[in-house]
Structure 1
Amino acid sequence: MPAINVNPTRMELTRLKGRLRTATRGHKLLKDKRDELMKQFMDVVRENRELRKKVEEGLIRANAAFTVASAVMSPEMLEQALLYPKQSVSLDMTFQNIMSVDVPVYHFRTKSDDPSQVYPYGFAATSGELDDAVGVFGQVFQDMLKLAQAEKTAQLLAQEIEKTRRRVNALEYVKIPQMQEAIKYITMKLDENERASTIRLMKVKDMLLQEAIEERQEADVKAVEAFGGHLDDPQDV
């Protein structure tokens, strides 16, 4: 018996064959999608690794420079220098479709295109280490946004890959074998019914033929008896 309940009819067989063709075609498409998602995912992972390394190195340099600036400058002077920032940023987010997955795309914009606007203080009363720290922080900030975009993209692609993998496995190891088993079962049942019908027809034919032979024999016997009785009549001698 198949794993699913089916009626062994030709209509059900035709329906299952159509579903099997659709499932097989869908299985191939899902496998192609999974492979392409894996390729895109590996590209994003490599980009993510490079960006993370770059951001970590930048943060180490910026923190080291800021530590030196904190040692050279007084806390009050340092706080006053960074109290009122001159530059502001805005972040817009759009979406890009990658194999039916909408991944975010961040657009980073500053209020002013002048790179010197990142320094919110004059250079007379501050140390060069603070300038280095602020400059590196400004560069790292953009790389951090790219890193966040890459990590979110990798997360969404990984979820879609897992979902697609489950669907591929469900079709490959559950649905398609069940339909193939059901088709085989229905085909065997139909063949068995056809053989049984053929045997019944042959038996009926044999019975009709036997009845015809018996009727013919009875008719011949009656004819012989009638002819023999006519010869035995004294008037015929």
Structure 2
Amino acid sequence: MLANVNATRMELLRLQKRVALASRGHRLLSEKRDEISRQLIKIARDIQPLRQKVENELSQTFRRFMLARASMEPEHVKAALAVPTKKFSMTMEFASVMNVKVPRLLKEIEGQILCYGYATTSGEMDVALLSLERAFDLLIELAQKEKQARLLAVELQMTRRRVNVLEHVVIPEIHETIRYIHDKLSEAERDNTSRLMKITDIIRK
């Protein structure tokens, strides 16, 4: 590979500019890698307790619904939940974390989740629906954070690869080529100096 390199001063200047650019890119990518790692660790710390909250809330919701069904007539349960009055919609925005687009889920809610009269329903049904509402909010937050974590993890892996390629392949190869050209130019300069000295000796004679 080095044998095909043009050992000229112009090529040397070009490689010196290239290694400076590669070193700057390595530094910027290393900073990006470190910041993504920091953000990923921060999100990961939030995910585990949030997942535990979701599981607890869903478990409570299920238990409350079972109690509500046990304390109400089946037709009353069906009638109570037949016509929901709460409307839900969701939009997605994107924020940028070190040039990585991560989603933010925004919910829009209208109406009340308690959509029935109280004459034929039990208090357990009220508690169950309110618990479901809390669980749903937590689920949205959990989904948002887990998606952010996945996107950042993918970007982190790609950034690490680029840093490693620059650090262990590209920059060392350029430095090796620069040393090769330096040696060739130094050798050519010594040859020229030797020739000039011989010419000078011939002229003096």
Aligned counterparts, 1:77-88, within 5 A: 77-88=76-87
C-alpha contact 2:26 2:163 (8 A) present in aligned 1: yes
* Consecutive aligned runs of 4 or more in structure 1 exceeding 6 Å deviation: none
Q: For residues 207 and 107 of structure 1, what CA distance do their matches in structure 2 show?
A: 89
Deviation at 1:34, TM superposition (A): 0.7
Deviations 1:138-178 (A, max 9, x none): 11111111111111111111111111111100100000000
SS of 1:90's partner is: strand
Q: Which amino acid aligns with 2:51?
A: R
Unmatched 5+ stretches in structure 2? none
Q: For residues 30 and 134 of structure 1, what CA distance do their matches in structure 2 show?
A: 48
Map of 2:14 onto structure 1: 15
Give me the TM-score of the superposition, normalised by structure 1: 0.82
Map of 1:28 onto structure 2: 27
Q: Which amino acid aligns with 1:74?
A: E
Q: For residues 6 and 60 of structure 2, what CA distance do their matches in structure 1 show?
A: 73
Larger radius of gyration: 1
Aligned counterparts, 1:213-232, within 5 A: none
CA RMSD of aligned residues (A): 1.5
Deviation at 1:5, TM superposition (A): 4.3
Give me the TM-score of the superposition, normalised by structure 2: 0.95
Q: For residues 191 and 123 of structure 1, what CA distance do their matches in structure 2 show?
A: 96
Q: Percent sequence identity over matched residues?
A: 45
SS of 2:101's partner is: strand
Q: Which amino acid aligns with 1:26?
A: G
Q: For residues 175 and 127 of structure 1, what CA distance do their matches in structure 2 show?
A: 71
Among residues 158, 173, 176, which one is paired with 1:178 in the alignment?
A: 173
Map of 2:116 onto structure 1: 121
SS of 1:104's partner is: strand
Map of 2:92 onto structure 1: 93
Deviation at 1:72, TM superposition (A): 2.7
Unmatched 5+ stretches in structure 1? 211-237
